[in-house]
Each structure stands twice: as C-alpha cells, then as structure tokens.
Amino acid sequence: MSDQQRVNVSILDKDYQVACPPSERESLHHAAEELDERMRVIRGSGNVVGLERIAVMTALNLCYELQQATKSPQQSSPENAVALERIATKLARALDKPST
C-alpha cells in the first residue's frame, strides 16, 4: 500500500477519498469527472431518483459500453479494452465499499 496515495474526488457534490498510485492520479481525476457528468445526466433525466440508483444506472451504462467496445475490436485498440476493463473493475470495487 506504500505506493498508494489518497486522492479526493467529488461526484454529485459528495467528496470521496480513493487510494491510487501517483502515476494514475490524473487518470483518476478524469474518470471521476466523467462519472460525475454521466451521473448528472441520469439524475437530470428525472427518471431515476436516489444516489444509489443513479450510480447503478451509470455503472450499467458503462458496462454496456465496455461490452460493445470489446465486441467491436476494429473500433477500439487493445489498450482501450484493457483500460476500460480496469475502470470497470475499479467501479465495481468502489460501489462495493461504503463511502468515507
């Protein structure tokens, strides 16, 4: 755990601390910004109420996009597929842990 740093991210106006390697800090911030944007779109639709439901719907959309990207390798590089898989794994872990 010594190579991990605590990074603060804000998603739907809530602050979260996430551990990540220093080399992935910028990527984590970009991922948090995209997640925040996607969750705001779903919340803004008015069809989904509650933070947990918004998070689940966002995760579902991201998983669907990941599946579509891995089914169409000509449209995405192997590096993109690996990166998307890593993001999906991190999302799954984050959703399993209670927020701090």
Alpha carbons 35 and 52: distance in angstroms, whole number: 13
Over the stretch 48-57, which tens digit does the pLDDT of each residue have?
889 999 999 9
pTM of this prediction exceeds 0.85 = no
pLDDT at 58: 93
The full DSSP string for the chain is: -TT-EEEEEEETTEEEEEEE-GGGHHHHHHHHHHHHHHHHHHHHTSS--SHHHHHHHHHHHHHHHHHHHHH-GGGS-HHHHHHHHHHHHHHHHHHHSPP-
pLDDT at 1: 47
